[in-house]
Structure 1
Amino acid sequence: MPNRPVLDFWFEFASPYSFLSALRIEAMAEAAGVALRWRPFLIGPIFAAQGWSTSPFNLFPSKGRYMWRDLERQTARSGVPMVKPSPFPQNSLVAARIALAGREAGWLPAFSKALFTAAFSEGRNIAEEAVLNAALRQAGADPGAALSASRSEEVKGRLRAEIEYAKSIGIFGAPTFVTEDGELFWGDDRLEEALDWSRHGR
């Protein structure tokens, strides 16, 4: 479809609600006639700038209990297995670098969905190279080449730049959806609204 509106999908591999969005966003965007840009980043530096040393779901126990129960409800509705990963949040630095290394190659969405599934449906540790390699193979990527690229200064710099850009446009959580006209929608429960805004605006 020519001249489709574009929606930026900012996500963090350690984010449970990013997991929910990643599993459903492609089909929903296709149905809405909206093109997607998958934008992996790290939310940790943004939290740190707010004075938080970890996820707010850990800092505020009541919020954390609600979040995990909410995830159980949401995944049960869609028939997706859900396992709380340990530790939480997971170290997603290498995962984000790998994803950015694959942006031009075309396997970023498939890798991302495979890794989210490993983390939140299987309880795997996404910082482990074996888990990363399995997700890369599932996405049709060469694990050796992808890991090598992720260690390059170019990709490391790309991730730092993405984090700084996310800060500059006001992103404070994940997932966040940003429309071409700069409208920002935070949270998996705002995905439908973000797609609608992409199509029609105000």
Structure 2
Amino acid sequence: MPNTIEFLFDVGSPTAYLAWHRLKGVVARTGAPLVPVPILLGGVFKATGGMPPGVVAAKGRWMNEDMARFAARDGITLVMNPQFPVNTITMMRILAGLQDDARFAAVTDTLFAGMWQQARAMADPAVLAATLTEAGHDADALLALAGSDTVKQRLIANTQAAIARGVFGAPTCFVAGQMHFGQDRIDWVEAAAA
């Protein structure tokens, strides 16, 4: 029986976007259950002293080239968002609110597409609402969900639990007790899941 893959992510991470799409193939090949866990990457960075990799100019250039290679190899559309880095708190609250909901995957696809296929200004409430509506989601209901105290606390709890487990960035996967950081470790995730 395949091992469960826990996928800790923030839609503001282009590497989490690539991992999300690559994990779909892993799940199809292995039958491993996927448990996505929304976290707030800004909260992780604040607690751990981390920073986005693009802060170091040479590393940012290399990372953009590396992500483009992975995207091309795997047939994933990737458009770098000129608003990056983006405040994702509303989007991640929506996903925390949907964590156990059948709409989770579809809304996650929509938010990732808005960020990394359409390169929209997703921190703008009007743009976020339009993106959700265009994809057939009830934007008003989802934005109201994001404002719920219960949902806000769930995102905080998810983020704090991730930090307690040693998470320092996104995407991070856990399989059979092992932590795998980065979309470039999905091959290791697949091996551990199988």
What TM-score do you get using the length of structure 1 for normalisation? Answer: 0.87
Q: Specify the alignment match of 1:56 in structure 2.
A: 53
Q: Specify the alignment match of 2:122 in structure 1.
A: 126
Residue 17 of structure 1: how far off its partner (Å): 0.5
In 1, the alpha carbon distance for the partners of 2:133 and 2:37 equals 21
Q: Which amino acid aligns with 1:33?
A: G
Q: Specify the alignment match of 1:188 in structure 2.
A: 183
What TM-score do you get using the length of structure 2 for normalisation? Answer: 0.90
Residue 137 of structure 1: how far off its partner (Å): 4.1
Partner SS state of residue 145, structure 2: helix
In 2, the alpha carbon distance for the partners of 1:45 and 1:167 equals 9
- Unaligned segments of structure 1, at least 5 residues: none
Give RMSD over aligned pairs: 1.9
Equivalent residues, number: 194
Q: Which amino acid aligns with 1:172?
A: F
1:42-61 residue CA offsets vs partner (Å, 9 max, x unmatched): 11122223334x41322x11
Aligned with 1:14 (options 4, 12, 15): 12
Q: Specify the alignment match of 2:26 in structure 1.
A: 28
1:76-101 residue CA offsets vs partner (Å, 9 max, x unmatched): 22333322212221111000000111
Superposition map of 1:116-155 within 5 A: 116-137=112-133, 140-155=136-151
- Unaligned segments of structure 2, at least 5 residues: none
Q: Which amino acid aligns with 1:15?
A: S
Residue 134 of structure 1: how far off its partner (Å): 4.4
1:107-131 residue CA offsets vs partner (Å, 9 max, x unmatched): 1122112211221122111212344
Aligned pair in 2 of structure 1 residues 195, 78: CA closer, same or farther (>3 Å)? closer
- How much identity, in percent, do the aligned residues show? 32
In 2, the alpha carbon distance for the partners of 1:163 and 1:146 equals 20
In 2, the alpha carbon distance for the partners of 1:34 and 1:191 equals 13
Superposition map of 1:36-75 within 5 A: 36-52=34-50, 54-58=51-55, 60-75=56-71
Partner SS state of residue 96, structure 2: helix
